[in-house]
Amino acid sequence: MGKAVVLVVSAVVLVACVATVGVVTVSNRKAADSSKPQMAELSTSQKNIQQFCRPTDYQQTCETTLSSVAGDKTDPKDLVGLVFNITIDHIKQAFDHSSTIQETAKDPRTSEALENCRELLDYAIGDLRTSVDRLDDFSMEKIDKFIDDLKVWISATITYQETCLDGFEGADTDAAASMSKALNRSAELTSNVLAIVTSFGDTLDKFELGDLNRKLLAVDAESFPSWVSGGKRMLLQKSPAQLKPDVTVAQDGSGDVKTIADALLRVPQNSAKIVVIYIKQGVYKEKLDIGRSYTNLMMVGDGPTKTKITGGLNFIDGVATFKTATVAVVGDGFIAKDLWIENSAGAAKHQAVALRVQSDKSVFYNVRLDGYQDTLYVHTHRQFYRECTITGTIDFIFGDSASIFQNCLILARKPMDNQQNIVTAQGRKDRRSTGGIILHNCTISADPEYYPLRNKLPTFLGRPWKEYSRTFVMQSQLDDLINPKGWLPWLGDFGLNTCFYTEIDNRGPGADKSQRVTWRGVKNVDLGHAQKFTVERFIQGKTWLPQTGVPFTAGLLPPSGSTN
């Protein structure tokens, strides 16, 4: 299909999607004339608002907010932008409310929860503003990528608001209820924005424009497209010396600095090109917060048994889960290679995160992540893990990003005597959210210390942390530690009908599905459906992974022939 045809079809799609919006001007409904019926017929503009809000779950909220501020705006793009800005304003109000409550906070946990809320709501506002800015750069030629990006950022905004409320565990209940009330309207508005954008994307799919754009960017599995230069293509294949790092960290004084924190001070912020920090062999006892302004940062070590970053913050000692991470990464385009990241708190300290990731289009290659409960917090956005080792006990891969783990080793460790292991706890709050944990061609096995106890203290594939929890285990090796039931409830019947859990073409003794739980949310899908949850489709990996040089499989592997 030629470029001109693409533009014509795209224009038709845009008209089809926004024609129902029309001129959104609100009539002044007065009943001054008693001779007229009290309930006058809806004006055309009001009908258009109703049509515009129809895809949403909170239609009354959508209609009320639009009707109150739409004025005489007629341009469809302006109206979409207006919906975003209304949502931003309500999140700002919740942000300000958290500051007001902070003044009367009764205990340290409540004070920390409110402080974390402000940080999280700032992230939410940032992602929505990015979305609004992208509306100004709207291009019909790149509409498929445009919609994919919007859905990822809006989904993250929903997650940030939910994480704010999650942080009140163990805090003052009055403060928690007050913040929940303050976030109620903004949560509904954000859900509505996602519904409107998703509806637009669904219309595009009917025209099959998405497949067209993907074909233009197609590469074969385990290969790189010709438009990626040889130097950049091999970025992750080079040794640290060949990479010519911008900053070298060495505890023995042979580098530029002795700590990773000092290296970050030398890194240019908001960089458009990749900036490399090389961390030489050693044990670095540091807490790293790689903020939003550290974009396109790459950290390379001497290997996942040699360069270790370790910390021990944990929930039992009074730190909120969100802040226990030894390494927290927010800046987009982050790349890590040949590192070992650990939270050493131990099983008795409960929630203790080794790595928390919010970085969009981030890559982790040959990285070891060690912890017990909540080892890896895949918080938001798009993430790719290749040939990594992740260890833990309870919910040790959790969060609501769109994450794919490929060719990774996932090791269950010995839990406490009154515990059982759960590999994943996916946290999708909204049914349209882009979040999901995808394990593809991975191995789930037992750590040697845990192996003799695997029948007494069982391991499950996952449990539904949030209502629309979504986890796929595909074409992976499942060893005999997996309990025959496969999946574990969270609490009662919460999420059992609305989650989306599936196992596809797996192998090994733990892959036998004959005794699996029979919740409505545990589904059998075919390989065709599973293709939607591959690197190419689920995280749009062909458009950005080749630039990093990480090897990846774009789609599914050839079927194994297994009946599991």
Tens of pLDDT, residues 283-318: 999 999 999 999 999 999 999 999 999 999 999 999
Rounded Cα distance between 538 and 436, Å, is 9
Q: pLDDT tens-digit profile of 219-249?
A: 333 433 333 334 444 667 777 777 789 999 9
Give catalytic status of residue 395 as yes or no. Answer: yes
Inter-CA distances, 493 with 218, 483, 521, Å = 42, 19, 11
Asked whether the CA dihedral 460, 462, 465, 468 is positive or negative, the reply is negative
Of 251, 239, 233, 244, whose CA–CA distance to 277 is shortest? 244
Asked if 354 contacts 332 with a C-beta cutoff of 8 angstroms, the reply is no
Residue type, 76: P
User: How open is the CA angle 29-30-36, to the nearest 5 degrees?
Assistant: 105
Rounded Cα distance between 159 and 38, Å, is 43
Of 78, 71, 26, 74, whose CA–CA distance to 50 is shortest? 26
Rounded Cα distance between 192 and 57, Å, is 7
Rounded Cα distance between 304 and 385, Å, is 14
Alpha helices for 103-171 (secondary structure H): 108-136, 143-166
> Could you give phi then psi for residue 264, rounded to 5 degrees?
-60, -30
* DSSP structural state of residue 42: P
In this structure, the number of other CB atoms found within 10 A of the CB of residue 105 comes to 18
User: How open is the CA angle 134-137-142, to the nearest 5 degrees?
Assistant: 90
Q: Which of 144, 395, 400, 505 is catalytic?
A: 395
Inter-CA distances, 139 with 11, 18, 115, 214, 552, Å = 10, 16, 38, 16, 29
Question: What contacts 227, CB < 8 A, 6 or more positions away?
Answer: none
What residues of the chain score a pLDDT lower than 70? Answer: 1-45, 70-79, 137-142, 144, 201-235, 561-564
Rounded Cα distance between 220 and 297, Å, is 27
User: How open is the CA angle 474-390-127, to the nearest 5 degrees?
Assistant: 80
- Please compute, for residue 528, the number of CA atoms within 13 A of its CA located in the half-sphere on the CB side: 0
Rounded Cα distance between 110 and 101, Å, is 9
343: three-class secondary structure by DSSP: strand
